[in-house]
Amino acid sequence: MSKAASTPPVAAPGEGQGADTGLRDTELLDKLEQEAAGAESPPPPPPEGEVSTGQLVGMILGPGFAILAPNWKVTDAEIDQLGKLYGALLDKYVPDLKTAYGLEISAVLVTAAVIGPRLMVPRHAEPKKDAPAPAADARAG
């Protein structure tokens, strides 16, 4: 058997893997380069109605900045960017975070929602001061 007979034919551009997966040639090349470099593909988007890890992080960061550093005036866009970035990191290093710690995350979010706005309010009402007693000079008259 000759060497040429055992080599599969080379597919023309647009045929073969790119056509089978529905990817354009450049997308296929990018995917193959990522796989060759050992890079993990980004996590798939959450199913419809499910909150992404980035959104969860944003839900924690928003009240956190509002409570701990209100003068920083961190915008919603900045919180969204931070949430997406740290959400991606959590998805990479702790992929089962939401399934393993979903209850704990919910508890933190609800606690922040309830207590957060009240943190700057004194816990106890200031005692009411009685009307000032008339001065001794006013009685001796």
Rg (CA), the chain: 31
CA atoms within 13 A on the CB side of 49: 0
Alpha-carbon gap, residue 103 to 99, rounded angstroms: 9
For residues 53 and 87, the answer to whether their CB atoms sit within 8 Å is yes
Q: What is the pLDDT of residues 57-105, one digit of tens each?
A: 898 898 888 888 889 999 999 999 999 999 999 999 988 888 888 888 8
Q: What is the mean pLDDT of residues 113-133?
A: 79
- Six token digits for residue 10: 């080379």
Q: What is the pLDDT of residues 26-60, one digit of tens each?
A: 777 777 777 766 655 555 665 666 788 899 889 88
